[in-house]
Structure 1
Amino acid sequence: MAGQPLIGMSTYLAGAQWSVWDMEAVLLPAGYPRLVQRAGGLAVMLPPDAPERAAAAVARIDGLVVAGGPDVDPSRYDAERSPLTGPPAPERDTWELALIEAALAARVPLLGVCRGMQLLNVALGGTLVQHIDGHADGVGIFGRHSVKPVPGTLYAAAVPEETSVPTYHHQAVDRLGKGLAASAYAEDGTVEAIELPESDGWVVGVQWHPEMGEDARVMRELVRAAS
């Protein structure tokens, strides 16, 4: 389409405080829209909604970002809850899984970030490791580590060299979902990016947080695919 593509971003639904107010709010770290804007897109928020509205929402955007956030409920991939898994966020799980399914059906370019990558894997029948160490520097503190691309993948086309990325997660992909391939790994063997074959459109998930860094190349590829 002509002009800047409209990129929808999923959001939190959480209690928040600002000015004199303390109430439920739709939230998303500002790094997400800023990264979309730097990459040449127009950013719009998609707060949790009824799953039957997901297809209509996706029909109005050119690209989708499923943002980071709380742990995916293990019941979504038929696993028992680990004591180390965080509280569920059913409204996000339901809405974002519906958004992913609608985007895949409509071949709308999709980027999953951290939780979003994990949900993409779960949406396609994959499973998750509920706890790993070494991918954050503490509660609320982003770490950094190297990520190595797999040659010949969509991710490698965007970022061909090994890079240091901002990271904050304690869960990871275990069994890959149907059709998905790993396209980057951390030094410890953790799957750090996944994707569908290019013939299925532009569908990529990254386990780190590009919105917390300066490298906009992955988001630029989403925006390019959505243009």
Structure 2
Amino acid sequence: MSGAPLVGITSYLEQAAWGVWQQPAALIPQLYVDAVTAAGAVPVLLPPQPVRGLACGLLDRLDGLVLAGGPDVAPDRYDAEPDPHTGAPHRERDAWEFELLRAALAADLPVLGVCRGMQVLNVALGGDLVQHLPDRIGEQGHQVAPATFNRRPVRVSRGSRLGAILGERTEVLCYHHQAVDRIGANLRPVAWSADGTVEAIELPGARFALGVQWHPEADPADPRLFRSFVDTLTGTSRLRGTSTNTLEEKSA
């Protein structure tokens, strides 16, 4: 993969155990690494850093940024009191990802936000979140059980960047109890589930700034989103590639 683009993936900072050790560790599900590699890029792990002002220099060395899924964004980031269902804040990760994202957008570095990453994108641009989606929609179909992805249909806006990649209807793997509510400045909602939940947002005019509420990294049978992201970094085009799970194919 000589000459392949470098893609930074933000990561967790968690207490972890391996061998005889149990200590804080930077980690990311291998699914993200595999998805970036399969799309033709080299993944670079970006653990939360306490050093402020580091993001610009770091991003100068990268070709793209993936904001990975993870814990709930601290509600005070969008001037809200925490809901009882909202998880404990991970302030070091919040600070690190918000700094990285702002620097990336300022430099027009391509950004793909996954689940929490979409929420970070929305909050960073002044939006807010629904802190517990079941209270809003009356059911738990977006997060049916711990550590269990649920496949759901989504409708995608005609004429959007995401629509060019996935078409107007597709199925996605969801695992989230929060969602975007008020949309951040200049962002555009571009995908919705049947209950009206916003499932994707993008920033028109950016080279690539797209957030999805679902987990494309967990669906290797449909690599289109990661491929399109990496294509932006390399100047190639593989839009609307083969998928095994679009609604059009299932109904054919």
TM-score range, shorter chain: over 0.9
Which is worse superposed, 200-209 or 140-149? Answer: 140-149
Q: Does 1:60 align with 2:61?
A: yes
- Equivalent position to 2:148, from 141, 147, 159: 141
Q: Does 1:211 align with 2:188?
A: no
TM-score (norm: length of structure 1): 0.97
**Alignment gaps of 5+ in structure 1:** none
Letter in 2 for 1:100: L
**Alignment gaps of 5+ in structure 2:** 135-140, 235-252
Letter in 2 for 1:38: A
Letter in 2 for 1:113: V
C-alpha separation between the residues in 1 aligned to 2:59 and 2:192?
A: 30
**Residue 51 and residue 158 in structure 1: after superposition, are their counterparts in 2 closer, same or farther (change >3 A)?**
farther
Shift of 1:20: 1.5
Number of equivalences: 225
C-alpha separation between the residues in 2 aligned to 1:196 and 1:161?
A: 18
| 1:155-192 deviation line (CA, Å, top 9, x unaligned) | 11111141111110000000000000011111111000
Alignment of 1:1-150 (within 5 A): 3-49=3-49, 50-133=51-134, 134-150=141-157
Q: Report the structure number with the largest CA radius of gyration.
A: 2
Alignment of 1:177-216 (within 5 A): 177-197=184-204, 199-214=205-220, 215-216=222-223
| 1:8-58 deviation line (CA, Å, top 9, x unaligned) | 000000011111111111010000010001111111101111231011111
List structure 1 runs of 4+ shifted beyond 3 angstroms.
none
C-alpha separation between the residues in 1 aligned to 2:59 and 2:73?
A: 22
TM-score (norm: length of structure 2): 0.87
- Equivalent position to 1:163, from 170, 189, 194: 170
The percent identity for this pair of structures is: 52
Given that residues 157 and 168 in structure 2 are in contact (C-alpha distance below 8 angstroms), is that contact kept between their aligned partners in structure 1? no
For CA contacts below 8 A with separation 6 or more, give which structure has more relative contact order.
Answer: 1
Given that residues 153 and 183 in structure 1 are in contact (C-alpha distance below 8 angstroms), is that contact kept between their aligned partners in structure 2? yes
Match of 2:241 in 1: none
Letter in 2 for 1:140: A
C-alpha separation between the residues in 1 aligned to 2:217 and 2:52?
A: 26
C-alpha separation between the residues in 2 aligned to 1:141 and 1:135?
A: 10
What secondary structure does 1:98 align onto? helix
Which is worse superposed, 173-182 or 18-27? Answer: 18-27
Q: Does 1:154 align with 2:161?
A: yes
Match of 2:245 in 1: none
Given that residues 136 and 144 in structure 1 are in contact (C-alpha distance below 8 angstroms), is that contact kept between their aligned partners in structure 2? no
C-alpha separation between the residues in 2 aligned to 1:140 and 1:131?
A: 17
Aligned CA RMSD, in angstroms, stands at 1.0
Given that residues 158 and 168 in structure 2 are in contact (C-alpha distance below 8 angstroms), is that contact kept between their aligned partners in structure 1? no
